[in-house]
């Protein structure tokens, strides 16, 4: 269930990171009491004593070592660096969190905190996604700002930079939005689906409009926590139609009651297959459904094109199940390391449908492990674990099973 447990302090109450020791301690205590948006998405940089400003200011809690865009981007684009792209996508999601907080404090582009999180990258917000039930902002479409880029002598959009980005926030435990956020959290917890939500419809329409305007290759989607759940399911629906967009999912929810029931069923099925495997059966005697599974697996290898990027911290129990191995790992006992590596390489080449990045030196406490800030922090080290993921494999199967039927002939 994608619940971000640490709501932000009211933005109307200015929290200043002061150089005086007494004021600094007071600011830290107030920030700790109120929490931060995006599941501890922003943390006061206490070590940066000389930096003054609101703790959610980009220059206070934002990334430190991102190179500012300039004319050199035309020759050597920073967007080709996966780490740079990951950090910028996380910043865009943070901007959506702050758009809602700015709305609650009746702040606009001139005095709000949110614009500081997209302007440094030469983007602008062209559409905000508003939940009609409570008026809260849960997403935004950001587009490349050509006029702002020209002011820094960036004549063309850098290679790899998307024309448009759909960014979706997670849960905010604030009175104006908590009710609707938790409704969608519970929806996912019970059914593992968000299709019935107003926000799913709004995000789908915004994504389809962006794809129609700029083409799927020029559009990206990014989401955190509950927003990552929406992003994954919206992109999957589009992928079923043969339209593939780049998707970045930070701390995507992986826990649900439906998943638990399905897991028990899969374990029973796995044990039954082990029993059947011990019986002498020829290929002709195999059940038809077993042959169909083999054919479906071959089709997955041939058809897979959409590869979302998932960013997971194993200390975050909301998303850590994405890194859980499938039952097949039990069959690796006693297998030589060299042979095991070859098997993993084969799986990577054949069945992978997502790039799963796991933090190797990430935060250990839950609130920080589920937070957004870690994904733009300096020193982030990620390991690519794309093989043998039980949850990803199941989601891949559900995606391409829907596209398995052949296209009907034109009348």
* Within a domain: 162: yes
Predicted confidence (pLDDT) at residue 107 exceeds the cutoff of 80? yes
Residue 381's nearest CA partner among 169, 160, 86 is 86
* Within a domain: 211: yes
> What's the total number of domains in the chain?
1
CA-only gyration radius of the chain, Å: 23
**Model confidence band, residue 401 (pLDDT cutoffs 50, 70, 90):** low
Residue matched to tokens 């702002």: 148
Q: What is the mean pLDDT of residues 337-350?
A: 51
Q: Does residue 105 or residue 342 have the better pLDDT? A: 105
* Within a domain: 290: no
CB count within 10 Å of CB 213 equals 13
Q: Please write the tens of the pLDDT for every residue from 139-170.
A: 999 999 999 999 989 999 999 999 999 999 99
* Within a domain: 333: no
Q: Please write the tens of the pLDDT for every residue from 69-106.
A: 888 888 889 999 999 999 999 999 999 999 999 999 99
**Model confidence band, residue 387 (pLDDT cutoffs 50, 70, 90):** low
Q: Which CA distances in Å does 410 have to 182, 204, 242, 407?
A: 45, 27, 18, 9
Q: What is the mean pLDDT of residues 177-195?
A: 83
pTM for the whole structure = 0.74
Q: Does residue 302 or residue 20 have the better pLDDT? A: 302
Query: How far is the C-alpha of 75 from the C-alpha of 160, rounded, in Å?
Result: 12
Q: How high is the pLDDT of residue 265?
A: 47
**Model confidence band, residue 15 (pLDDT cutoffs 50, 70, 90):** very low
* Within a domain: 404: no
Q: Does residue 150 or residue 66 have the better pLDDT? A: 150
Share of the chain above pLDDT 70, in %: 63
* Within a domain: 31: no
* Within a domain: 267: no
Q: Which long-range contacts (CB under 8 A, 24 or more apart) does 119-128 make?
A: 119/145, 119/148, 120/58, 120/66, 120/68, 120/69, 121/69, 121/88, 121/91, 122/69, 122/148, 122/149, 122/152, 122/154, 123/92, 123/165, 124/148, 125/95, 125/99, 126/164, 127/206, 128/99
Q: What is the mean pLDDT of residues 58-76?
A: 86
Q: Does residue 254 or residue 120 have the better pLDDT? A: 120
CATH number for position 384: 3.40.50
Domain span at residue 130?
A: 58-260+305-325+350-399
Average pLDDT, the chain: 75
* Within a domain: 238: yes
Q: Please write the tens of the pLDDT for every residue from 252-293.
A: 988 754 444 444 444 445 454 555 555 555 444 445 554 455
Q: Which CA distances in Å does 171 have to 178, 314, 409?
A: 7, 20, 45
Considering Cα of 280, then 282, then 288, then 294, what sign does the dihedral take? positive
């Amino acid at each position: 269930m994608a619940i971000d447990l640490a709501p932000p302090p009211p933005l109307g109450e200015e929290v200043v990171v002061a150089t005086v020791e007494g004021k600094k301690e007071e600011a830290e205590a107030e920030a700790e009491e109120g929490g931060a948006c995006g599941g501890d998405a922003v943390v006061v940089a206490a070590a940066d004593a000389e930096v003054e400003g609101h703790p959610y200011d980009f220059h206070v809690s934002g990334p430190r070592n991102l190179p500012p865009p300039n004319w050199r981007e035309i020759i050597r684009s920073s967007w080709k660096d996966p780490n740079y792209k990951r950090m910028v996508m996380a910043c865009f999601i943070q901007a959506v969190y702050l758009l809602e907080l700015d709305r609650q404090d009746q702040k606009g582009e001139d005095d709000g905190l949110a614009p500081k999180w997209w302007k440094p990258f030469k983007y602008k917000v062209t559409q905000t996604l508003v939940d009609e039930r409570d008026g809260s902002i849960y997403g935004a479409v950001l587009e490349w700002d050509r006029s702002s880029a020209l002011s820094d002598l960036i004549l063309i959009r850098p290679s790899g930079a998307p024309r448009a980005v759909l960014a979706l926030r997670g849960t905010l435990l604030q009175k104006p939005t908590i009710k609707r956020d938790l409704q969608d959290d519970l929806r996912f917890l019970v059914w593992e689906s968000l299709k019935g939500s107003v926000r799913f419809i709004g995000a789908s329409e915004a994504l389809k409009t962006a794809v129609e305007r700029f083409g799927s290759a020029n559009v990206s989607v990014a989401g955190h926590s509950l927003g990552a759940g929406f992003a994954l399911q919206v992109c999957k629906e589009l992928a079923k139609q043969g339209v593939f967009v780049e998707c970045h999912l930070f701390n995507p929810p992986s826990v649900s009651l439906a998943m638990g029931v399905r897991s028990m069923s899969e374990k029973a099925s796995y044990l039954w297959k082990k029993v059947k495997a011990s019986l002498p059966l020829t290929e002709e005697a195999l059940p038809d459904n077993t042959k169909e599974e083999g054919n479906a697996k071959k089709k997955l290898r041939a058809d897979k094109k959409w590869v979302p990027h998932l960013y997971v911290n194993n200390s975050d129990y909301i998303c850590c199940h994405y890194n859980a191995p499938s039952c097949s790992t039990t069959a690796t006992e006693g297998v030589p390391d060299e042979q095991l590596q070859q098997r993993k390489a084969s799986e990577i080449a054949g069945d992978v449908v997502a790039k799963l990045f796991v933090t190797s030196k990430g935060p250990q406490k839950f609130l920080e492990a589920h937070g957004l800030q870690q994904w733009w922090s300096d020193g982030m080290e990620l390991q690519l674990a794309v093989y043998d993921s039980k949850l990803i494999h199941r989601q891949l199967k559900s995606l391409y099973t829907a596209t398995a039927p052949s296209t009907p002939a034109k009348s």
